Chain A
């Protein structure tokens, strides 16, 4: 079972790193605690919804900011939703960019908004990769007959 132990150690270390680097916050831990044998895929399911929502919102944002005359209220509404869902899964860095983003919306600052859009896309992409890596590690552990350490 050496392999499993190593994988579990890897998972714990990786998760700790994500927290240290600010990609995830305590809300993610809250979600993990809601997962159990009766609902073993809960976190993956919620995070998948987050991915879907985010991709939709990022597209909408790109469109809305691409218009001749930008509807900042619409931009703000999309960012608000993105901020909400990132907060709900503990994606701290995405959430933080959204806060700055909304301030630029309030100020109707196009350049600021475009910069934030780029930033939020980057942060989203990063956290998506990291979460997918995390889930892969979990899968490997389960496949090797181990259980997910908490």
Chain B
């Protein structure tokens, strides 16, 4: 793991095209592929699933999420490996 300072701009660059889990202040989570992101944390997610309390409630082809609602954007690396380890 590098010890360079990683700002939000670096995070943005690294996270495009990845599957991310976006949690809102109201505890709703969105898991989808990150298509766009700006400095206000507005997001475009594709092939997105909407979860409330770990339960899937909706699926969307493409959504625009307003950034003021976002609590965090979580990215997974080595996704497949992680899932295998959990099993």
Do A and B make up one complex?
no
Residues of B within 8 A of A (CB): none
